[in-house]
Amino acid sequence: KQASCISVISCFILASTSAERYIFASGTYKLLAFTIGTIGVLGFCNNAVVIILYYRFKRLRTPTNLLLANISASDLLVSVVGINFTFVSCVKQEWLWNSAACVWDGFSNSLLGVVSLMTLSALAYERYIRVVHAKVVDFPWAWRAITHIWLYSLAWTGAPLLGWNRYTLEVHQLGCSLDWFFPFTCLSQCSVIFPYDVTFSHIVLPF
């Protein structure tokens, strides 16, 4: 009886451990893998077409379209290097990679995400001055904006690599991002405010 009882308890512990290992149901992992895979394929194809059209047709090479090409380049890189780890993790239903891969996953997605958001800010400003002030931006302005956007994004997303916050596995254990529970730092708590600096100090004021 004692051996039987121990066997039952062992089975219960193993079952509990197995249940805790997977956060989502098996069907949810499959749905996530399908969704992320589809987004990756479509994102790669669509953004590749945009970049090819921009460089192939001279009449499309305008400062505004250069900003659009910058977004496409960023999103294309996300499709190439940003979703691979998460996609495989969804297929295998767990994070399979080491800490270095986690850091790369968090850094690359954060960098490219901030680049896309800041480029959208630049495009919004370009639309504003075109409609409200009837001004047209030129290529030097567009290239200056893109340069500052990448440098700004690299500065903020590179800070965790130097010890200011860190990139760690997220709660769902399928990808990595900033450690939002890290002790208070401006990077982890105030990052909502600082992105506006790139719009006003690097794009609006020099115009």
pLDDT (tens digit per residue) in 38-93: 999 999 999 999 999 999 999 999 999 999 999 999 999 999 888 888 898 888 88
pLDDT confidence tier of residue 169, bands split at 50, 70 and 90 = confident
Q: How does the average pLDDT of the chain come out, rounded?
A: 80
Radius of gyration of the chain (CA): 22
* Choice between 20 and 82, residue whose per-residue pLDDT is larger: 82
Q: Cα–Cα distance between 23 and 59 in angstroms, integer?
A: 51
pTM: 0.78
Mean per-residue pLDDT, 23-43: 88
The residues, ordered by sequence, that sit 6+ positions from 122 with a Cβ below 8 Å of its Cβ are 67, 145, 146, 149, 199, 203
Topology given in CATH for the domain delimited by 22-204: Rhopdopsin 7-helix transmembrane proteins (1.20.1070)
